[in-house]
C-alpha cells in the first residue's frame, strides 16, 4: 500500500467551531501540499453532509472524513487534533452528534485501498493507548512514525 504520511499534514491545535470550518482547513492543507485536486474540499464537505463520519470511541469522538478517489492526486492521510472539540454527526445516524477531538481525513486513489486503510484506522481507534498517544503527543515526527507503524506503511 503506497500512502505517504507527511508531517505537514499533522495539524495540532486546529481551531474551528464548526465541522465545515475544520474540514475546509484540512482539505486546504491537502490541496496546498498537492495531494488533492481543487474539487476535493467541496466534495469532502458535501459527502460529510450525506455520509457522516463521526465515531464514538471510549475516550471521545473521532471523525474519518473522506470523499471519492477522483478528487485525489496522491494517497495520504491528514490528521488533525482540534483545539476545542467540534460536533460531527455519528456515522450511520441522521442527526445524533458526537464531540470530536481528532480527525483523520483520507485521500485515497483506489477504492480497495480506502477500505484497507479504514480498517487499520479503526483498529487504532479501538486501541485506547494508541488514541491517547495521538491525542496528547506534541512531536509531529513521532506521530508520523507512530502512524506509519500502526498502519503498516513503509516510508519510501
pLDDT value at position 156? 61
When pLDDT is averaged across residues 60-89 and rounded to a whole number, the result is: 95
Q: Give the confidence band of 1 by pLDDT, cuts at 50, 70, 90.
A: low
Domain boundaries along the sequence of the chain: 7-151
Strand ranges across the sheet with 54-56 = 10-14, 76-89, 97-107, 61-63, 54-56
pLDDT over 80 (residue 103): yes
Distance in Å from the first CA to the final CA of the chain: 11
Its CATH architecture, for the domain 7-151, is 3-Layer(aba) Sandwich (3.40)
When pLDDT is averaged across residues 4-30 and rounded to a whole number, the result is: 97
Q: What is the Cα gyration radius of the chain?
A: 14
Mean pLDDT of the residues in the chain: 93
When pLDDT is averaged across residues 74-80 and rounded to a whole number, the result is: 96
Cα(151)–Cα(30) distance, integer angstroms: 19
Q: pTM for the full model?
A: 0.94
pLDDT value at position 112? 76
pLDDT over 70 (residue 71): yes
pLDDT value at position 58? 78
β 76-89/10-14 pair status: parallel
pLDDT over 70 (residue 66): yes
Top-confidence residue, 65 or 118: 65
pLDDT over 90 (residue 75): yes
Per-residue burial over 96-121, b = 16 or more CB atoms within 10 Å of its CB, e = otherwise: eebebbbbbbbbbbeeebbebbeebb
Cα(28)–Cα(11) distance, integer angstroms: 12
pLDDT value at position 6? 94
pLDDT over 80 (residue 128): yes
Amino acid at each position: 500500500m503506497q500512502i505517504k504520511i507527511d508531517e505537514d499534514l499533522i495539524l495540532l491545535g486546529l481551531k474551528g467551531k464548526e465541522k465545515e470550518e475544520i474540514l475546509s482547513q484540512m482539505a486546504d492543507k491537502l490541496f496546498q501540499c498537492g495531494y488533492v485536486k481543487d474539487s476535493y474540499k467541496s466534495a469532502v464537505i458535501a459527502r460529510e453532509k450525506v455520509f457522516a463520519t463521526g465515531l464514538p470511541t471510549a475516550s471521545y469522538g473521532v471523525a474519518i472524513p473522506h470523499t471519492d478517489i477522483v478528487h485525489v492526486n496522491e494517497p495520504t492521510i491528514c490528521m488533525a487534533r482540534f483545539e476545542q472539540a467540534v460536533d460531527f454527526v455519528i456515522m450511520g445516524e441522521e442527526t445524533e452528534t458526537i464531540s470530536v477531538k481528532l480527525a483523520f481525513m483520507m485521500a485515497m486513489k483506489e477504492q480497495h485501498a480506502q477500505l484497507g486503510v479504514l480498517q487499520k484506522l479503526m483498529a487504532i481507534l479501538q486501541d485506547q493507548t494508541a488514541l491517547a498517544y495521538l491525542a496528547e503527543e506534541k512531536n509531529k515526527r513521532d506521530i508520523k512514525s507512530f502512524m506509519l507503524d500502526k498502519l503498516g506503511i513503509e516510508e519510501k
